[in-house]
Amino acid sequence: MDSETVTAKPPSPARTILIGAVKLVVSLGLLALLFSRTDLASLGRSLRSASVPWVLVALALYLVQMLVATWRWNVLLLPQGFDIGQRRLLSSYLVATFFNNFLPSNIGGDVIRIRDTAGPAKSKTLAATVVLIDRGIGLMGLVLVAALGATVTGGVGTAPALSMWLWAGLLLATLVSAPAVIAPAGVGRLLQPLTVFHPEWVGDRITRVTEVLGRFRERPASLFNAFGGAVLVQALLVLFYAAVARSLNIPIAVSHLAVIVPISFIMQMVPVSVNGFGVREATFSFYFSRLHLPIESAMALSLGSTALIMLFSLSGAVVYVARRHPHK
């Protein structure tokens, strides 16, 4: 385990409260605006009439994507010389998903994943680097699925140039990230100026990061496999939303969901709301309006899918409690 700890001053409580309050205002403001334009009676009927079999299909698809995401994480850990095991990683992923959905931040789950793998890896830096790479690969898989969806739809319901921008973004991300694997030493030299803040601690962290990247360079197949897993995860999430849409009798093509679902995830990454609430619904509502679908359908799909994800993530709470009280 890393012997030294970060000594950086944590943010003040007042600043934390202020940021949280701003996010809450943004989320509540957007939701209030959207609900004011929504026929609440129609929205309620739509949610209450959801097809139970299709809801179960959606939950099954979400479970499968969770298993694939766990496998992808393990694929990235194996080149570092640690076989922690799928079952243990799945347990960690479930707890992380619970924290991501029930804490006012989408990075709480990453803290759990880093903590759970730092012990076996004997390095917080290694665990954090792998989780960061996993996040980056997941984002690239998300953009690829969105680009494919936008290409298939041909710009119907979106800006005609959207697919071009998505492909350009994917290409740029590839060009930026590839040198880090091809020449890890270059990354070390690029980060070297940071040692001015704490030569020994920062220098050791840089060394560990370059070692992680060096192992991936020796086993590039792990990165390709992880990227394939990321694409499959996003495809399964699109199918999850498609099953929810089917349960609500919302007439939207899977190709359009392949655009809006990834884009909504990207919008939720912008730290201006509480867990994406409001921002996610606004994104769905805007896209649905371009397809001439009612705002009630957009709100039903967004809120219904989110409710199912939060319901599923409660399994992580059960795992978390079992960890803290193993005798029970």
pLDDT for residue 202:
78
Write the CB contacts of 161 (distance below 8 Å, at least 6 apart in sequence): 155
Q: Domain for residue 103, yes or no?
A: yes
Model pLDDT, residue 327: 53
What is the predicted pLDDT for the residue at 294?
95
Say if 209 falls within a structural domain. no
Q: What is the pLDDT of residue 9?
A: 55
Q: Consecutive sets of 10 residues in the chain, 328 residues long: mean pLDDT of each? A: 47 79 92 95 93 97 96 94 88 92 76 90 89 94 93 71 87 89 82 76 84 89 95 97 97 93 91 90 94 94 96 93 70
Residues 258 and 144: their CA atoms lie apart, in Å, by 10
Q: Kindly list the distances between the CA atom of residue 201 and the CA atoms of 6, 180, 186, 192, in Å, as whole numbers in the listed order.
A: 8, 21, 19, 12
Using CA atoms, how far apart are residues 231 and 222, in angstroms rounded to an integer? 14
Cα angle at 104 between 99 and 109, to 5 degrees? 30
Phi-psi region of 249 (alpha: psi -120 to 50; beta: other; left: phi over 0): left
Identify the pLDDT of residue 158. Answer: 62
Residue at 56 is within a domain = yes
Three-state secondary structure call for residue 154 = coil
**Residue with token string 């199918």:** 239
pLDDT at site 6: 43
**Measured between alpha carbons, how far is 90 from 67 in angstroms, rounded to an integer?**
7
Domain assignment of residue 300, yes or no: yes
46/29 Cα distance (integer angstroms): 23
- Look up residue 6 and give its two tokens: 């970060």
pLDDT at 319: 92
Please indicate, yes or no, if residue 15 is contained in any of the structural domains: no
For residue 3, the model assigns a pLDDT of 45
- Is the residue at 59 inside a domain? yes
Structural domain tally of the chain? 1
User: What is the pTM (predicted TM-score) of this model?
Assistant: 0.90
Residue 256 placed within a domain = yes
216 within domain boundaries: no
Q: According to the model, what pLDDT value does residue 47 have? A: 93
Closest CA to 241 of 178, 181, 170, 301: 301
Q: Is the dihedral of CA 51, 56, 57, 59 positive or negative?
A: positive
Single-letter code of the amino acid located at 228: G
Return the pLDDT at 8. 47
- At residue 10, the pLDDT reads 57
Residue 132, domain extent: 50-160+221-324
d(CA 49, CA 33): 25
